[in-house]
Amino acid sequence: MIALDEYKGKVSPDWCPGCGNYSQLRAISMALSELNIKPEDAVISSGIGCSSNMPEYINVYGFHGLHGRLVPVAEGIKWANKNLTVIGYGGDGDGFFEGTQHFYHAAKRNVDITYIVSDNQVFGLTTGQASPTTPVGRITKDTPDGNIEPPFNPLHYALTAGATFVARALSGNIKSLANIIKAGIQHKGFSFIDVLSPCVTYNKINSYDFFRKTTYDMKDNNPKDFYEAYKLASMWGDQPNSIPTGILYDVQAPVYEDADVVLSKYNLKDTKPYQLKETDLEEFY
């Protein structure tokens, strides 16, 4: 097992004290360590937002890109070098607003990447606007009369799009979170992990205390049953044990890289660019 210190980045995180992203940084490092994945064999792609600074704080390859565009970048990295462990990491605003179409197609294709979303039900970086997962009625900076839009359910979206691994985790439970991330990385295919992660600055309602009361770890669910997974993904509330966490769905299906004619035969980074010769064009004249 590779020592955790090997994944410590050169830049220290500057998230708000108590932010759930610290736990996710630790959990990702723990998962990579326990899977014995060398820093040079892993890459994290991110978009825009507080959580999307992750590549700067962990000692693996990283790409900090555009708002909502982290998933296609992760796909491209995986297709260029299938030997890499590729993780997409961003927030609920980034992934479920600008990035929904990319999320859908990556899940449908069943690309072998792990997509982790730090879901705090608010736009944190831009100081507290309603995000796609903000509950109806919630008062935020841009919804002073209460949010009128029904919240987006990322687990439903992932399931119906075709994701073969779908899980919900809590940033306040690092050990469980690390185990779920580890399982997602080991899964052959598109893995989606929605991490309930309190924003301690701009979301005072969905706090650590809220989630300690309302969440519970699933013990006896059948992750092969799509309809059970969909039902579990629907469960949400403010009562004790009303929000299940754990692996909801885990099945095997053909992976895009194995089905594509070119990707199934070649690692693109190892192929040499083909230089057109004049004779190659003769058939077109």
Q: Are 225 and 253 in contact (CB under 8 A)?
A: no
Domains of the chain: 16-284 (3.40.50.970)
User: One-letter amino acid identity for 179?
Assistant: N
pLDDT score, position 281: 65
Residue bearing tokens 């469960």 = 235
Digit-by-digit pLDDT tens for the chain (285 residues) are: 899 999 999 999 999 999 999 999 999 999 999 999 999 999 999 999 999 999 999 999 999 988 889 999 999 999 999 999 999 999 999 999 988 999 999 999 999 999 999 999 999 988 999 999 999 999 999 999 999 999 999 999 999 999 999 999 999 999 999 999 999 999 999 999 999 999 999 999 999 999 999 999 998 999 999 999 999 999 999 999 999 999 999 999 999 999 998 888 888 888 777 676 777 666 655
What interhelical angle do 154-161 and 100-109 show, nearest 10? 40
The angle at the Cα of 120, spanning 114 to 124, to the nearest 5 degrees, equals 105
pLDDT computed for residue 284 by the predictor: 57
Which pLDDT value is given to residue 266? 85
pLDDT recorded at residue 67:
87
pLDDT of residue 101: 92
Alpha helices, H only, 86-225? 92-93, 100-109, 154-161, 174-186, 208-214
State the number of CA atoms in the 13 A half-sphere of 43 facing the CB: 21
Return the ∠ at Cα 282 (arms to 281 and 285), rounded to 5°: 100
pLDDT of residue 274: 65
Dist CA 233 CA 225 (whole Å): 12
Residues whose CB falls within 8 Å of the CB of residue 8, separated by 6 or more in sequence, listed in order: 29, 58, 59
CA-to-CA distance for 26 and 8, rounded, in angstroms? 9
Angle at 28 between CA 25 and CA 34, to 5 degrees: 135
The H-or-E segment that residue 56 falls in is helix 54-57
